[in-house]
Amino acid sequence: MKRIESNIVNLAFVITNQPTKDTKGRQMKTQGVELNQAIVNGQSTGVSLRTMNGATKSTAIKLDEQSLRDLLEAVNEVLKAGSN
């Protein structure tokens, strides 16, 4: 018999807009993204991204490490352009 014990950690980051109201004063749906990562025995086994619109979530999109680096670069560029 072989016993295998795994240390599994699931990280979830939920990034949403600040609550806002429409022109008639009604509360608008919360919008944002959710980033999830599974770590097994200290190694990342995958990262997924999904959009959120109120209670509705999109299908998870699996991202590899290079895609995450490209996303980080794009976000940094957008933030840099917005601060000029």
Statement: residue 84 has pLDDT above 70: no
Q: Where are the beta strands (DSSP E) in the chain?
A: 8-16, 31-40, 43-53, 56-57, 61-63
Place of tokens 């004063």: 25
| pLDDT one-digit tens code per residue, 37-73 | 999 999 999 999 999 998 899 999 999 999 999 999 9
For residue 15, name the pLDDT band (cuts at 50, 70, 90): very high
Whole-model pTM? Answer: 0.77
